[in-house]
Structure 1
Amino acid sequence: MKIKTLFFGITSDLIGENQLDFVIENNLSIKDFKQFLIEKHPSIENINSYAIAVNEEYAEDDLILKENDVVAIIPPVSGG
């Protein structure tokens, strides 16, 4: 199934793209998808400290992705 993934902040710099489409297996959880992303792009090894949103709502690791979901990878924001 096809999943659109949006990258924000430092993640877009690490990946080199603002968005990518992935074809993944059915019944993949957010936790499994994060591992999939680390395998494809080791530069985002800290993904477990990032917020994940699916279809514009924050998601927990046990959420199962569905066809055409949009996943946003949102790193922590710092500033002063």
Structure 2
Amino acid sequence: MKVTVRYFARYRSLVGKSEEELEVPDGITVRELIEILKERHPVLKNEVFAEDDDLADVNVSRNGRYVRFDEILRDGDIVAIFPPVSGG
């Protein structure tokens, strides 16, 4: 199945693109997709998602809605990855 991954803010700068389409196994979870992204873009592993506990430092949406890391993806999903928002 195919999913589109959109990168925002720091993640866009690190991977050098704003979007890519990936062929992934049917029924993968958001967490499994992140593992694929870490292999595809080692800078994410080194700079952003060093350990599973660090997943709290990333926000993920699927088709415009925040998702849990155990949520299963479907063909055609658009997954956005962006850092936590802070402000005052």
Matched residue SS, 2:35 = helix
Higher helix share: 2
Matched residue SS, 2:26 = coil
1:74 matched to 2:65: no
Deviation per CA, 1:21-68: give whole Å up to 9, x if none.
000000100111111100100111224221000000001011000000
Segments of 4+ in structure 1 off by > 3 A? Answer: 77-80
The one-letter code of the counterpart of 1:66 is R
TM-score (norm 2): 0.84
Aligned residue for 2:34?
34
TM-score (norm 1): 0.92
Matched residue SS, 1:31 = helix
1:13 matched to 2:23: no
Unaligned runs of 5+ in 2: 50-54
Matched residue SS, 1:21 = strand
The one-letter code of the counterpart of 1:68 is G
Pairing 1:45-56 to 2, within 5 Å after superposition: 45=45, 46-47=48-49, 48=55, 49-56=57-64
Aligned length, in residue pairs: 80
Give the distance between the partners of 1:42 and 1:59, measured in 2 at CA.
Answer: 23
Residue identity over aligned pairs, in percent, reads: 30
